[in-house]
């Protein structure tokens, strides 16, 4: 029997065997149980599920010390970062409870019967309802926030969809322990045991995408792996939505005015951003356009200085480290690339040092246009606005696009127009690596940033992925879902074409 091992990336040693890999039969049983649990989870209602999410957050908080220590041992991300990530994760669960309390996500729409130019129209009432069991693929780089207890799970449970997580190989012990906390929260809320479960092993992940009981997939990971699963989900006898967040270069542009005004701040900020979490962020900037000439030189000098001071650090696992090493090799070998900071990566060493490379903007080619996961940044120096815009035109879509501008910057408007068409989030005079959990966040983007450009995996709107509309035509009021009845005034509704605010009960 193949087993799932918990490995310490600092030593490369197996610390414990967490579980056997989930067999195909067990995946089928878990998914069937999730489907059976769906009606009861839906029947909990918005109030019941909001309570469940808060109880899940409580259960995670109660286990904080052990969860952080265990997860650090499996990921080497460090207790401070992981403590912050767990805070974000429990905040996120509670945030979705607030989304449920608000109720606007249901898009309740009521058209009373009436006359139209085509004749009488029946009474029509539309709302969103849960899609069914959801498969969530945890990511390696955010072992809480994009893993078992992360955003996909929180938003799917909020929607009323049971979740089956495919635990990431890189932190199986943390996955199992998070799952236990979530299940304690579900139990305390009176939700079915199968509200949330997990499977282990790559084959189990593939079986999950194929399973007839699974109605949608949330995925965060590599382009290669994500694309293969996307295609598989699309070609099923019954295709299902596949929400894959894959790769992003997240280019950043420093205008001449910005370089003139705050070269040192930008250089230092950029260094901090691309080395944060050992560069293991989906929003890590991988390419920075900096003007040629003295102002740009000052940006690069500050950047290089800060990079040289940044200590080597342990990456998530051997596979990630090997991918980083080969990616850096390819970048170093690309025509026109100059190495500013960083020796060749030693694939045998646990810790890697950040790498800073430089090229002329006219020479930006593959592999500089592809994401290299880890602490590496290519600085592309441009001699003119025309050269900058030509180089940007070759940069593909991404989760983010960042601009550093100066006062009265003539490049600001054209850059914004160009970047808005190609990114999910445009960041102004900041850095892309922070992703707030909020109502207005969009974490997504055109392919290859994601496989589903209409959707986000972070923020309130991410619940939309797990819901489908149903219209009720002339259904008697007493049979309607509570939210669709005329007297349900506690949530926002569109009634006869006009939006009406909800009057939430005092809590």
Cα–Cα nearest to 342, from 330, 353, 331: 353
Question: Within 10 A of 362 (CB to CB), how many other CB atoms are there?
Answer: 14
Q: Does 489 bind a second copy (CB under 8 A)?
A: no
For residue 245, indicate whether it is catalytic.
Answer: yes
Q: Does 452 bind a second copy (CB under 8 A)?
A: yes
Considering the complex, state which of residue 122 and residue 344 has its C-beta at the smaller distance from a second copy: 122
Burial 422-442 (b: 16+ CB within 10 A, else e): bbbbbbeeebbbebebeeebb
Q: Does 412 bind a second copy (CB under 8 A)?
A: yes
Considering the complex, state which of residue 51 and residue 88 has its C-beta at the smaller distance from a second copy: 88
> Which one of residues 476, 487, 505, 507 is an interface residue with a second copy (CB under 8 A)?
476
Piece of 9-17, 120-128, 188-196, 344-352 that binds a second copy (CB under 8 A) = 120-128
Radius of gyration for the chain, computed over Cα atoms and rounded to the nearest angstrom: 24
What is the spatial distance between Cα 35 and Cα 159, in angstroms, rounded to a whole number? 14
Considering the complex, state which of residue 6 and residue 462 has its C-beta at the smaller distance from a second copy: 462
Q: Does 184 bind a second copy (CB under 8 A)?
A: no
Name residues contacting a second copy, limited to 322-361 (CB under 8 A).
none
Q: Does 122 bind a second copy (CB under 8 A)?
A: yes
Piece of 1-9, 25-33, 203-211, 439-447 that binds a second copy (CB under 8 A) = 439-447
Q: Does 239 bind a second copy (CB under 8 A)?
A: yes
Structural contact between residues 9 and 317, judged by C-beta atoms closer than 8 angstroms: yes
Token code pair at residue 332: 């170093």
From 161, 282, 358, 387, the catalytic residue: 282
Question: Within 10 A of 192 (CB to CB), how many other CB atoms are there?
Answer: 19
Question: Within 10 A of 372 (CB to CB), how many other CB atoms are there?
Answer: 26
Q: Does 413 bind a second copy (CB under 8 A)?
A: yes
From 74, 85, 245, 371, the catalytic residue: 245
Q: Does 129 bind a second copy (CB under 8 A)?
A: yes
Token code pair at residue 122: 């029946």
Site string for a second copy, 76-115 (x = CB under 8 A): --------x--xx--x------x---x-x--x-xxx----
Q: Does 155 bind a second copy (CB under 8 A)?
A: no
Please tell me the number of Cα atoms within 13 Å of 381 on its side-chain side: 16
DSSP 387-411: HHHHHHHTSPPEEEEEEE--TT-TT
For residue 107, indicate whether it is catalytic.
Answer: no
End-to-end Cα distance, the chain: 52
Q: Does 188 bind a second copy (CB under 8 A)?
A: no
What is the spatial distance between Cα 163 and Cα 170, in angstroms, rounded to a whole number? 20
Q: What value, to the nearest 5°, has the Cα angle with vertex 28 and ends 24 and 32?
A: 170
Considering the complex, state which of residue 24 and residue 434 has its C-beta at the smaller distance from a second copy: 434
Q: Does 160 bind a second copy (CB under 8 A)?
A: no
* Residues assigned a catalytic role: 245, 282
């Amino acid at each position: 029997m193949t087993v799932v091992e918990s490995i310490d990336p600092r030593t490369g040693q197996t610390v414990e065997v967490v579980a056997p890999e989930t067999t195909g039969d067990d995946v089928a049983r878990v998914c069937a149980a999730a489907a059976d649990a769906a009606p009861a989870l839906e029947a909990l209602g918005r109030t019941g599920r909001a309570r469940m999410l808060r109880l899940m957050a409580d259960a995670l908080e109660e286990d904080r010390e052990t969860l952080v220590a265990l997860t650090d041992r499996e990921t080497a991300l460090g207790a401070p970062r992981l403590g912050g990530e767990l805070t974000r994760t429990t905040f996120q669960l509670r945030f979705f409870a607030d989304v449920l309390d608000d109720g606007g996500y249901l898009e309740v729409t009521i058209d009373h019967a009436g006359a139209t130019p085509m004749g009488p129209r029946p009474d029509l009432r539309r709302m969103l309802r849960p899609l069914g069991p959801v498969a969530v693929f945890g990511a390696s780089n955010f072992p809480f926030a994009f893993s078992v207890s992360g955003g996909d799970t929180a938003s799917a449970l909020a929607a009323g969809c049971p979740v089956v997580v495919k635990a990431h190989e890189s932190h199986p012990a943390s996955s199992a322990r998070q799952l236990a906390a979530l299940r304690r929260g579900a139990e305390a809320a009176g939700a079915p045991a199968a509200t949330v479960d997990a499977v282990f092993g790559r084959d189990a992940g593939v079986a999950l995408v194929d399973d007839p009981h699974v109605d949608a997939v949330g995925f965060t990971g590599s382009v290669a792996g994500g694309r293969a699963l996307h295609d598989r989900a699309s070609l099923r006898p019954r295709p299902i939505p596949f929400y894959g967040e894959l790769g992003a270069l997240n280019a950043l542009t420093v205008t001449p005015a910005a370089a003139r005004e705050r070269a040192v701040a930008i250089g230092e900020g950029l260094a901090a951003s691309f080395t944060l979490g050992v560069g293991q962020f989906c929003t890590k900037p991988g390419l920075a356009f900096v003007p040629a000439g003295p102002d740009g030189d000052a940006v690069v000098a500050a950047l290089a200085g800060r990079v040289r001071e940044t200590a080597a650090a342990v990456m998530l696992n051997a596979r990630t480290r090997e991918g980083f090493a080969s990616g850096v090799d390819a970048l170093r070998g690309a025509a026109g690339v100059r190495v500013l900071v960083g020796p060749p990566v030693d694939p045998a060493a646990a810790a890697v040092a950040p790498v800073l490379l430089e090229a002329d903007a006219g020479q930006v080619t593959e592999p500089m246009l592809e994401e290299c996961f880890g602490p590496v940044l290519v600085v592309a120096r441009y001699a003119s606005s025309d050269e900058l815009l030509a180089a940007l035109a070759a940069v593909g879509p991404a989760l983010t696009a960042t601009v550093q501008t100066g006062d009265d910057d003539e490049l600001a408007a054209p850059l914004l127009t160009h970047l808005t068409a190609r990114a999910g989030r445009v960041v102004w005079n900041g850095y892309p690596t922070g992703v707030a959990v909020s109502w207005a966040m969009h974490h997504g983007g055109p392919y290859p940033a994601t496989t589903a450009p209409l959707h986000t995996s972070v923020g309130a709107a991410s619940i939309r992925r797990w819901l489908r509309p149903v219209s009720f035509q002339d259904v008697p009021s007493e049979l309607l879902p509570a939210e669709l009845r005329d007297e349900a005034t506690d949530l926002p509704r569109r009634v006869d074409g006009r939006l009406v605010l909800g009057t939430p009960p005092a809590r």
